[in-house]
C-alpha cells in the first residue's frame, strides 16, 4: 500500500494541494476509513474507488482540487450534495465550522455516518435526501460543493448561497463534465470553468 505521506507529497508536487491547512486536513483524515474492505489496499492510490451501489469515492487529486477551490474558512457552514462515503465531508470538517452533507441513497448515508463516527468527526451532519433541492432547513451557506455530475446549476443552490458565497459543481450530461466555480456577488454570478472531470450522475 502506498502511504498517505507519499500521496500527499505527490499531490503537492503536482499542484493539486496548495495551502498548508488543506495539506494538514489530508494528513489528519485516514482515507482507508471511508473505503470498503475489498479496496482498502488501494486507499492511497490516486484513483476513485467503488463504495457500493454503483457509486465511487472521488480520486484524492479531485478532492484536493475541489477543497482548495472552495476556499474553506474556519467560520464557514458548508453544504455538500452527494455525501457518498463521507470522505470529502471529513476533509472539509477539519477546515470549516460545520458541514451538512446530503445523500440520496439510504445505505450510503448509514455507511458515511459509520465512517465519520469511527474517525471521530462530529461537525458533519449526514442527511438523507435529494440534494438538487439543496437543504433549505440550514440555509444560507457560505459554500456549496456538489460531488455528483449535475445537468445544470439548480436555482435552489444559488438561492441557498450567501452573497460572496462559492458554489462548486461538475456540470454536464455525459460521462465527462466541467468543473464550474461560481461566486455569488451583489452584481451577479461570476463563473469560471476549471476544466474536465468525471463524476457519477446526480439521481432524483
Ligand atoms: N463526495 C463523496 C463521493 C460522491 S459520489 C465522497 O467523498 O465519497 C456521488 C454521490 O452522489 C453518490 O453517493 C450518489 O448516491 C450521490 N447522489 C446522486 N444523486 C444525488 C442527489 N440527487 N442528492 C444527493 N446525493 C446524490
Q: Please state the pTM of the whole predicted model.
A: 0.98
Phi, psi of 131 (to 5 degrees): -75, -5
* Residue 19 annotated as catalytic: no
Question: H helices of the chain, where?
Answer: 4-13, 20-28, 60-69, 87-93, 106-119, 155-159
Residue 1: predicted pLDDT: 47
The C-alpha atoms of residue 166 and residue 71 are separated, in whole angstroms, by 8
The C-alpha atoms of residue 198 and residue 154 are separated, in whole angstroms, by 19
Of the residues 30, 33, 83, 197, which should be mutated to test ligand 1's pocket, given the most ligand atoms within 8 Å of the CB? 83
Mean pLDDT by 10 residues, the chain (204 residues): 86 98 98 96 95 95 98 98 98 98 98 98 98 98 98 98 98 97 98 97 94
Q: Is the peptide bond before 140 cis (omega within 30 degrees of 0)?
A: yes
The C-alpha atoms of residue 101 and residue 27 are separated, in whole angstroms, by 22
Of the residues 65, 103, 204, which should be mutated to test ligand 1's pocket, given the most ligand atoms within 8 Å of the CB? 103
Q: Provide the strand spans (E) within the chain.
A: 49-52, 55-57, 77-81, 98-103, 124-128, 141-146, 161-171, 177-185, 188-197
Mind listing the domains of the chain with CATH numbers? 2-197 (3.40.50.150)
Q: Among residues 168, 173, 134, 167, which one has the least CA distance to residue 152?
A: 173
Per-residue cell: 125: 451532519
Burial 73-103 (b: 16+ CB within 10 A, else e): eeebbbbbbbbbbbbbbbbbbbbbebbbbbb
Q: Among residues 66, 48, 67, 50, which one has the least CA distance to residue 58?
A: 48
Contact between residue 158 and residue 172 where contact means Cβ atoms under 8 Å apart: no
Nearest protein CA to atom 11 of ligand 1, as residue:
82
Angle CA 67–69–72, to nearest 5: 60
Residue 2: predicted pLDDT: 54
With a CB cutoff of 8 Å and minimum separation 6, the contacts of 174 are none
| Any atom of ligand 1 within 6 Å of the Cβ of 146 | no
Residue 204: predicted pLDDT: 87
Amino acid at each position: 500500500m502506498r502511504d498517505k505521506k507519499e500521496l500527499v507529497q505527490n499531490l503537492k508536487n503536482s499542484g493539486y494541494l496548495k495551502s498548508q491547512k488543506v495539506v494538514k486536513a489530508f494528513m489528519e483524515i485516514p482515507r482507508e476509513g471511508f473505503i470498503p474492505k475489498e479496496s482498502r489496499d488501494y486507499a492511497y492510490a490516486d484513483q476513485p474507488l467503488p463504495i457500493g451501489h454503483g457509486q465511487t469515492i472521488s480520486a484524492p487529486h479531485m478532492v484536493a482540487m475541489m477543497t482548495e477551490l472552495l476556499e474553506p474558512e474556519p467560520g464557514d457552514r458548508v453544504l455538500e450534495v452527494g455525501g457518498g462515503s463521507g470522505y470529502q465531508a471529513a476533509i472539509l470538517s477539519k477546515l470549516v465550522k460545520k458541514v451538512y452533507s446530503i445523500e440520496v441513497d439510504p445505505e450510503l448515508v448509514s455507511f458515511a455516518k459509520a465512517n465519520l463516527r469511527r474517525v471521530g468527526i462530529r461537525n458533519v451532519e449526514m442527511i438523507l435526501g435529494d440534494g438538487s433541492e439543496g437543504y433549505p432547513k440550514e440555509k444560507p451557506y457560505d459554500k456549496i460543493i456538489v460531488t455528483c455530475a449535475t445537468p445544470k446549476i439548480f436555482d435552489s443552490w444559488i438561492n441557498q448561497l450567501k452573497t460572496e458565497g462559492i458554489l462548486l459543481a461538475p456540470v454536464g450530461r455525459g460521462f465527462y463534465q466541467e468543473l464550474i466555480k461560481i461566486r455569488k456577488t451583489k452584481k451577479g454570478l461570476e463563473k469560471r470553468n476549471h476544466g474536465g472531470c468525471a463524476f457519477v450522475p446526480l439521481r432524483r
